[in-house]
Amino acid sequence: MNIIIFAKVRFLFRISINLREILLTMNKVVNNAHEAIKGIESRMTLMLGGFGLCGIPENCIAALAASDITGLTCISNNAGVDGFGLGMLLRRHQIRKMISSYVGENKEFERQLLSGELEVDLIPQGTLAERIRAGGAGIPAFFVPAGYGTEVADGKPVREFDGKMYLEEHWLKADFAIVKAWKGDTHGNLVYKSTANNFNQVMATAGRITIAEVEELVPAGTLDPNHIHTPGIFVQRIFQGTNYEKRIEFATTRPD
Amino acid sequence: MSLDKNGIAKRIARELHDGYYVNLGIGIPTLVANYIPAGMQIVLQSENGLLGIGPFPAADGIDPDLINAGKQTITAVPGAAFFDSSASFAMIRGGHIDLTVLGAFEVSDTGDISSWKIPGKLVKGMGGAMDLVASAQNIIVAMMHTNPQGESKLLKKCTLPLTGVGVVKRIVSDLAVIDVTPQGFKLVERAPGVSVQEIINATEGRLIVEGDIPEIEL
């Protein structure tokens, strides 16, 4: 009798541990991009990782382009190209404002900018990265030399440190940060590949909710903890993306 | 004879020293990589997150996850390192890059530089140029001395919107090597066969000429 009860308790205990593991896991893992972007509403501010078309969250961008969400403020180093990347959202007039460092390579973008449909805030690339880092790290303001004496300095407090002039810059945060990683695990730990890291790692820290789409999603415990770029604490939703196109803007090769 | 783009790049390569970490801008500056002296260890930084830029890939070695700041496919050399954009600009802003080479529309004799915006033309953005010019230990500008209309691009005061103020240390143009000093431009070297008078005529800003000016050796 005692033995049977003990076995039963052990069995129930084991089930409860398994359930607990499953529930913890289920907290972050979603099935696809459509589930991942739940809660994104019109007029929200989004951060989207990537440099040009390298390391962009293709699945989530496609899901946003298939939605009725409009009036978005998008913080992204670039604005995609015609018909791909953020160009997909621009084509459907879903973006109200871009906060970027460089926005070339996009005719529809130019048209909307010149016609006044689209607002653009151009920020030096390093200042953009640091404003995002500050947002994620809880630092409301800081000083940088970039832009001192230029139109970027308009309206900003300046201060001298060790004989050099600096501009006061402020943090950037987003309702949702959407990043793309190479590998991720069920706890939200992320590893990026080569120069597809770029703005993804820093943006992952600055979203009220951070969505990570990854090429390969593995169980927690599979990735080497020494190699994690983004610790899972920064990631609230994760899924394995599909059909990555990874378009190349300028394919350059050496002569054979 | 004035230098062509490759000549400018070749002359700038002589500013490199063993062990330098260097950021090369788009255009003529990129060509400098072709003239790194044999045996010299130079690490090229790409501000999108790479130390150790290698040559362009072979046609069957293209990797869409590996590009330079001009969004061209590239390779990474053995010993390279990848990192995110905020770490990249910590290297730049923190003064860890030994030399930055970039292009310019105009430079003033106080070291101001205009390179990102032409009024009336569509603005694409400054990218990392403002961060680079504000922070580099040493900045060399690679540029043509005059515009296609023959007007000087080395001015008393820049006419176009600025990228940075008082930041340029040296200019290598098709006509000359010129330093920016507290007294204005100072002629250091002249392109082979180009006279000092030609350089004076092509320079609108204050230009100091002292003693014999040697020709650029390539």
Please give the structure tokens belonging to residue B88.
């990249």
For residue A245, tell me if it sits in a domain.
no
A23 within some domain: no
> Measured between CB atoms, which of A126, A151, A246 is closest to B92?
A126
Choose the closest CB to B130 out of A104, A152, A250: A152
- Domain of A123 in residue numbering reads as 33-240
**ipTM value:** 0.95
Fold of B5-208: Glutaconate Coenzyme A-transferase (3.40.1080)
Q: Is B47 a catalytic residue?
A: yes
Q: Specify if A251 maps to a domain.
A: no
Query: Is residue A165, in this structure, part of any structural domain at all?
Result: yes
- Domain ranges, ordered by start, for chain B: 5-208
Task: Tally the domains of chain A.
Answer: 1
In terms of DSSP bridges, do strands B207-208 and A45-48 run parallel, antiparallel, or are they unpaired?
unpaired
pTM of the model: 0.93
Domain annotation covers residue A92: yes
Domain with residue A178: its CATH number is 3.40.1080.10
d(CA B133, CA A55): 27
Instruction: Give the pLDDT of chain A (256 residues) as one tens digit per residue.
Output: 455 555 555 555 555 555 555 445 458 999 999 999 999 999 999 999 999 999 999 999 999 999 999 999 999 999 999 999 999 999 999 999 999 999 988 889 989 988 999 999 999 999 999 999 999 999 999 999 999 999 999 999 999 999 999 999 999 999 999 999 999 999 999 999 999 999 999 999 999 999 999 999 999 999 999 999 999 999 999 999 999 999 999 999 988 6
Residue A185 belongs to some domain of the structure: yes
Count the Cβ atoms, other than its own, within 10 Å of residue A235. 26
Q: Which residues of B touch A254 (CB under 8 A)?
A: 55-58
Strands (E), B65-169: 76-82, 99-102, 106-108, 113-114, 139-143, 154-155
In a domain, A17, yes or no: no
Mutation to test the A interface, candidates B23, B31, B44, B48, most A Cβ within 10 Å = B48
All residues of chain A having their beta carbon less than 8 Å from the beta carbon of residue B106 are: none
Tell whether A48 is covered by a domain. Answer: yes
Q: What is the DSSP letter of B8?
A: H
Q: From the candidates A125, A182, A200, A230, which should be mutated to test the interface with B, based on the most B CB atoms within 10 A?
A: A125
**Residues of chain A found within 8 Å of residue B53, distances taken between Cβ atoms:** none
Alpha-carbon distances of A70 from A45, A63, A65, B92, B137, rounded to whole Å: 11, 13, 10, 37, 44
